[in-house]
Amino acid sequence: MTASPSSSAQAAREALAMRLQHLRKDAGLTGKDLSARCGWHPAKTTRIQKGDAPPSDADIRAWCAACDADEQADDLVATARAVDSMYVEWRRLHRDGMRRVQQDGNSLHEQTRVCRVYVSNVPPGFFQTPGFATALMEQITRFQGTPNDVA
């Protein structure tokens, strides 16, 4: 699975992947050892550990069993479900395009008294011209594959 444009959801997936990787290392297993114990291809272990593929509940339980850490399975399954719900919520918010998401942010912006911003790759929103903002939003829409309702 490709990385979601939702950076917080991707960061949560990567944190889960890191927990699983630490669990494997703490058990003294290599990726190949874990794959053999779980009965799946080593590429699957790699994809899960890198956060490229979401593990299923069964994957997590097998991972924990292979690492002799069954007591951690329920917590890891709950974490994985929370990560999945972040992706679902992101898709729900963006399914109709960017306009509503931007409008929701506008009301928060209107209530803000202090705003500290650091953005290294684009000018902060309040410095953007309408033309620049429109072009940027159209690029984001194309990248995300969401409907273009920017114009």
Is residue 97 within 8 Å of 149, Cβ to Cβ?
yes
Mean pLDDT score, 114-141? 84
Mean pLDDT score, 106-128? 80
Tell whether 58 and 132 lie within a shared domain: no
Is residue 144 within 8 Å of 136, Cβ to Cβ?
no
Domain count, the chain: 2
Tell whether 24 and 50 lie within a shared domain: yes
Is residue 96 within 8 Å of 144, Cβ to Cβ?
no
Please indicate, yes or no, if residue 150 is contained in any of the structural domains: no
d(CA 19, CA 64): 11
d(CA 9, CA 126): 26
Tell whether 126 and 56 lie within a shared domain: no
Tell whether 33 and 63 lie within a shared domain: yes
Tell whether 41 and 104 lie within a shared domain: no
d(CA 29, CA 21): 10
Radius of gyration of the chain (CA): 20
**Mean pLDDT over all residues of the chain?**
86
Instruction: Residue 49: give its domain's CATH number.
Output: 1.10.260.40
For the segment 26-84, what is each residue's pLDDT rounded down to a tens digit? 999 999 999 999 999 999 999 999 988 999 999 999 999 999 999 999 999 999 999 88
Tell whether 77 and 121 lie within a shared domain: no
Tell whether 37 and 85 lie within a shared domain: yes
pLDDT value, residue 11: 85
Tell whether 79 and 107 lie within a shared domain: no
pLDDT value, residue 1: 38
d(CA 128, CA 149): 19
Tell whether 48 and 116 lie within a shared domain: no
d(CA 135, CA 30): 47
Record the pTM.
Answer: 0.62
Tell whether 14 and 87 lie within a shared domain: yes
